[in-house]
Amino acid sequence: MTTNAQVESPGRPRPTEDRLATTGSRCTRVLGVVVLLMLAMHLALALVISPPEVIQGEAVRLFYLHVPLAVAGGYLGVGLLAVGSIGYLWKRTIFWDLLAASAGELALVFTALTLLTGSLWGRPVWGTYWEWDPRLTLTALLFVLLIGYRAMRTASTDPHLRARRSAVIGLLAAADVPLIRMSVDWWRGLHQTATLNPLNPSLDGMMLFTFFFSMVTFAVLFVWLLVHRFRVAWLEEQVADRALDEAIAQRRAEGQETQ
């Protein structure tokens, strides 16, 4: 937070302004290029180079999109949401709050895409868009939990109240996932449908490579998006702080004029 607004002349840029006015840096630009190259390679591997699967046929290619989205959103996203939430409750700094917020929002997007690609895959392979499979049910509930987290973030304009309550919700949502997992596993335990097992040794070598390459690609993509989302949130905080500082400085100036 900047508190010296009234002693600075308005025309002089602050030392940190140039660094904070953009969400990119040399490092993120390099990372961005790497992500784009990896995505291009991922597309080539998933759509052209890897062979169709014996049972699923061409539909297996959706898996190279669906599974990495689920892993990046479900594990990385929710994991970082929990880390940010715990960090905030412990340290009480805006950094952890914004980390949790950014991770939660990206996890929501990735989970929505996971559900969408899963449905598209289910139609040709299972013959239905939706199946009450434990994993699907878990993902659907996770999606709603993340919507709830997002709703909390827009429910209050008081930054401290919002950060505190969001952190509790983020932590509870992450803690709830294993419980939901256990319950839906038992609930649908008898109907468990076979899914692709990446460690299955009979899997074609090229398919296995594509599978793991897609995981790495989407993890890097997630990190890249996270850095930018975090910086946008950070800049928003700065703008809000500065607007408040300027408003206070103006009121003070008015007070001096009338004296």
Partner 1 sequence: MWRDAMLVAGKDLRIEARSKIALNQIAPFALVVLLLFAFALDPDRGFLQEATPGLFWIAVLLSTLLVVQRSYAVESADGGRDALRMTGLDPAGVFLGKSAAVFVVLAMLEVGLGVGVRLMYDTSLRGWPVLVVATVAATTGLVAAGTVYGALAAGLRVRETLLPLLFLPVVAPVMIGGTRAFAAALDGSSGEAWRWCGLLITFAVAYVALGMLLFEPLLEDS
Q: Is 78 in the site for partner 1 (CB under 8 A)?
A: no
Q: Which of 23, 28, 119, 156 binds partner 1 (CB under 8 A)?
A: 156
Q: Which of 169, 221, 225, 226 binds partner 1 (CB under 8 A)?
A: 169
Closest CA to 38 of 205, 221, 223: 221
What lies within 8 Å, CB to CB, of 101 at 6+ separation is 84, 153, 166, 233
Contact 132, 197 (CB under 8 A): no
Contact 105, 187 (CB under 8 A): no
Q: Which of 101, 171, 207, 221 binds partner 1 (CB under 8 A)?
A: 171
Q: Is 183 in the site for partner 1 (CB under 8 A)?
A: yes
Question: Which range touches partner 1 (CB under 8 A), out of 7-15, 33-41, 65-73, 140-148?
Answer: 140-148
Q: Is 108 in the site for partner 1 (CB under 8 A)?
A: no
CB atoms near residue 103 (< 10 Å)? 26
Distances from the Cα of 87 to the Cα of 69, 83, 153, 223, angstroms = 25, 6, 17, 18
Question: Which range touches partner 1 (CB under 8 A), out of 34-42, 182-190, 194-202, 216-224?
Answer: 182-190
- Give 96 or 121: the residue with its C-beta nearer to partner 1: 96
Exposed / middle / buried, residue 34 (Cβ in 10 Å: 0-12, 13-18, 19+): middle
- Nearest-angstrom CA–CA distance, 76 and 70: 9
At its nearest, how many Å lie between partner 1 and the CB of residue 127? Answer: 26
Residues at the site binding partner 1, with contacts judged by CB under 8 A: 89, 141, 144-145, 147-148, 151-152, 155-156, 158, 160-161, 164-165, 167-169, 171-173, 175-176, 179-180, 182-184, 186-187
